[in-house]
Homo-oligomer: A and B are copies of this chain.
Amino acid sequence: MSERPLILVTNDDGIHAKGIHELVEVVQLFGEVVVIAPEVAMSGMSNAITSDKPLRVQKLSEDPRLTVYKCSGTPVDCVKIAFNHLLDRTPDYVVSGINHGSNSSISVIYSGTMGAAVEGCLHGVPSIGFSLLDFSQDADFSKAKIFAARIFQAVMDNSLPKYTCLNVNVPTGSPKGIKFCRQASGKWVEEFDKRIDPHNRSYFWLSGSFINFEEEAKDTDIYALEKNYVSVVPVKVDMTCYETLDSLKNWKF
């Protein structure tokens, strides 16, 4: 008897977020599901790992088709402890999300959702991070779920190259289709909102707005999303800038 695929699900918005429950519903169509997610929101945790304090893991429910854990660590910690300790076989896929809010362009480097997907592909498993461009807690994931199912099916059919995962972002409303794109060059322009606490000490809230460095480009994730397409960017773990490597070899010391 052939085993159904084992699918590991995580996120960075935490075990109680709506988006992860929606993603579980999608991938249950395709296989057996194990969920392990942070017990609290871990947005912006990137590829962070926890080595200076111990991790706690608690099983919340168990079912032949769906087992759920929460973990005190980061999204990457969740993936690591699942592969190395919790699961009795290597999962066939890792999916992360559905994130409440965009992880397009440079946000990929800050995103805990994508941190978990990168960690999944480092373990040699096809991995996908899904995000919806809506930060609200009760966001409507109905269209995002349909596209997540289509993309998950395509990954099952085609697999992915080793050490490469997908960064999928879904616009709100009714997306027109799917575009494969590159990461737009852009950055967050931060503003720090300075306030004074009741003890007369200052503190700062990080806020900011996104700037797209290449508004004319039509092959970026930002462009696809602006045109109401789902953007799919293949993300690799090799951060070497090969073009620069060639020119560095001319440096004199």
| Interface residues of A, Cβ cutoff 8 Å to B | 41, 43-52, 54-57, 76-77, 80-81, 83-85, 106, 108-110, 115, 118, 122-123, 150, 154, 157-158, 160-161, 163-164, 178, 180-183, 185, 187, 190-192, 194-195, 201-206, 232-245, 247-249, 251-253
Contact = CB atoms under 8 A, between A and B. Distances in A.
A234 B168 CA distance: 27
Q: Is the interface of A mostly helix, strand, loop or mixed?
A: mixed
Given A164-B244, A183-B240, A244-B161, A44 B48 contact: yes
A182 B232 CA distance: 26
A236 B244 contact: yes
A118 B109 CA distance: 9
Contact of A109 (B57, B81, B84, B239): B239
B248 A240 contact: no
Contacts of A150: 253
Contacts of A204: 54-57, 81, 85
